[in-house]
A and B are shown apart, each in its own frame.
Chain A
Amino acid sequence: MGTPLIVVEHVDFAYQDTLALEDASLVIQEGDFVGLFGPNGGGKTTLLKLLMGFLSPKKGKISILGRPPQAMGKQIGYVPQHLRFDRDFPISALDVVMLGCLSKLTWWGGYTKESKEKAYQALEKVGVSHKALAPFGTLSGGEAQRVLIARAIVDTPKLLILDEPTSSVDPAAEQSIYNLLVELNKTITIVMVTHDLQTVLDKVKRFLCVHRRVTSFQTKEICEHFALGLYHTPLTSTQHFSF
């Protein structure tokens, strides 16, 4: 067992009166590759925001490497869905990656030479260095998603968080993105929101179901539950669910 990277203990979170997470606990070890799933509105996004320090728990405690998430932002690489972005925004793929180096700006507000080199290397690593100078908005879905992954890893974070990285990406590109993530997982811990459990079954190491509470699954447990077409936490005798 490695050292725990993320520890979430009995966390409650509510938006005004709507409870999003209740008594959520989880531990993620360094080197893990976790698939996060659950119903819409089940609290996945809230959990990610808590991990990234954008929200603070109403109750309970979250620590990343023993420190509060707010202090660990630079240790986290975040990959949003590429569809969120304005395709007309005048920015090149390389400049998008450079946004991952913002914490290392010089006093006059420029990027260092080292940052530029790292950005190129990150693009090479994800396999789109030939598109470095292409406008971000002209990239295919798969390429754009890879550029966002490059941005997330350029500053060598400890944790990579991805929000459905393959939504609106064609199946071939999807497989190669997952293979890339498996490769990256050799050095980085990954937490990935996913809806397509079957596709990622042989990629991730385990699953967490977020449905107000958080439940851990081994990948071998997931098939039968998924076959039911239901997102639910284990059917233990003490819990009842209605859908």
Chain B
Amino acid sequence: MENHPSTHTLSGQIELRTGVKSARCYQCGKCSAGCPLAHEMEFTPSATMRMLQLEDEAADKELLRSPGIWLCLSCEMCISRCPMSIDIPKVMDYLRQKSLEVGVQPAGKTKNIVSFHQSFLDMIRRTGRSYEIGLVVDYKMRSLNLFQDVSLAPQMLKRGKLPLLPETIKGMKEISRIFTKSAKK
């Protein structure tokens, strides 16, 4: 009998959007055992799958709020060893995107991580390529981490690793188009 995934639950949405079926996880924990940052997460990879399996609104809310989803490095160690080949990295990507979509406000250290990603993308939108100085300035303004790497910058400059000016590509129209169309639902 075909079990049609419900879009009310995160698990159902994930199945529809990524094809990953949370029911296939039999909670063996091999993913958590090999995850380099599992010890820091509130919900380890296997616990994350378990929270999805509950198909419970409260659990889903908690999951979207947890800092662990932003700690995940997408190193893919989990899926490479998972006996059921469950694509946890894809699940994590979905949870991250969804949490921002529903308006979860990242706090504390998590905010820094999200800010960095946002600053990175901002640079690409502006020039088509990454521009490190602009990225760090943007990040500091978002995170208010004003003294971050203050001593590092001159050392990088000295070694010629920090270009002072950004390089803007010619096809900026195409880049704008990509960003605009990607922002739509």
Indicate whether A and B interact.
Answer: no
Chain B residues engaging chain A, CB cutoff 8 angstroms: none
